[in-house]
Amino acid sequence: MGGIVPPILNKLKKVRLDRFLSNAGIGSRKEVKLFIKKGKVSVNGQLIKNPSYQIDLQVDIVCFDDKPVLLKNNYYFMFNKPSGYITAIEDKNFPTVMEFFSSLPFYRRLFPVGRLDIDTEGLLIVTDDGMFAHRVSHPKWGVEKEYYAVVKGNIKNIDYTKYEITGIKLKDYQTKPFKIKLISTDDKKSEITITVKEGKYHIVKKIMEKLGHPVMYLKRIRIGSLLLDENLSPGEYRELTEEEIKHLKQVVNL
Ligand code: URA
């Protein structure tokens, strides 16, 4: 069987099909039992509807929705999100970022880490590691998210350095401290980077609106130590390197 056998299974040779699938990240034990009964799972090309079917980890090939299930521990992708896509697993009205991952040659239950608005572009991590996703997006861990933004008007005359200490009071929410750097400005618009430590809904747009300079264009360029790879065009992704994963995990104590 391809991939690395996770520690939880590596002492076993034979294992129940439902246990194998839940350990491979397909779903909870209850969910995978339903998937098996619905006929989504085959072993060596044969449809298996019995959750207690014993599979041999060394030789059997298990497929979910016709794609082989690999036993690598977790996957981490860097995705350059294009505008026009919703950061969700499914949506009734709009295409989702997950559509870009449907051509992967194997099945994993992947999901996006945090959320970018439909019109925001740039760095999005997509993974199947729930704890990692939770910590990277939770304000408690304070992982920095840096955005490149084009905003309306000339921001030269605002003293934005004070917000590095105080944050700003929005209508219903006090933000954590954030940092703005001015790249260029003219009378009509300014180019900035803004670094926040939280993933609240529309946080950058709300901050800039409050400062009187609404966002015209927004792109995330960094999450913690991870910079958006300039070789990735919008809509493209690549796996994170071991080094990139290690640095991100260090920050969130994993
Ligand atoms: N802040 C926003 O306003 N939008 C995003 O997509 C991300 C951060």
CATH (domain of 188): 3.30.2350.10
Confidence at residue 12, expressed as pLDDT on a 0 to 100 scale: 56
Domain assignment present for residue 1? The answer is no
Amino acid at 34: L
Mean pLDDT by 10 residues, the chain (254 residues): 45 80 88 97 96 89 91 86 96 95 79 96 95 92 96 90 95 94 94 94 96 97 97 96 95 90
Confidence at residue 72, expressed as pLDDT on a 0 to 100 scale: 63
Centre of ligand 1 to C-alpha 208, Å, is 11
Centre of ligand 1 to C-alpha 215, Å, is 10
Confidence at residue 157, expressed as pLDDT on a 0 to 100 scale: 81
Q: Are residues 117 and 243 in the same domain?
A: yes
Task: Determine the Cα–Cα distance for residues 99 and 26; give it in Å rounded to an integer.
Answer: 18
Confidence at residue 135, expressed as pLDDT on a 0 to 100 scale: 94
Any atom of ligand 1 within 6 Å of the Cβ of 204:
yes
Q: What residues make up the domain containing 119? A: 76-251
Any atom of ligand 1 within 6 Å of the Cβ of 203:
yes
CATH (domain of 60): 3.10.290.10
Q: Are residues 120 and 225 in the same domain?
A: yes
Centre of ligand 1 to C-alpha 135, Å, is 18
Q: What is the pTM of this model?
A: 0.80
Q: Are residues 164 and 47 in the same domain?
A: no
Domain assignment present for residue 8? The answer is no
Q: Count of domains in the chain?
A: 2
DSSP per residue, 84-127 = T-BSSS--SSS-BGGGGGTT-SSB---EESS---TT-EEEEEEE
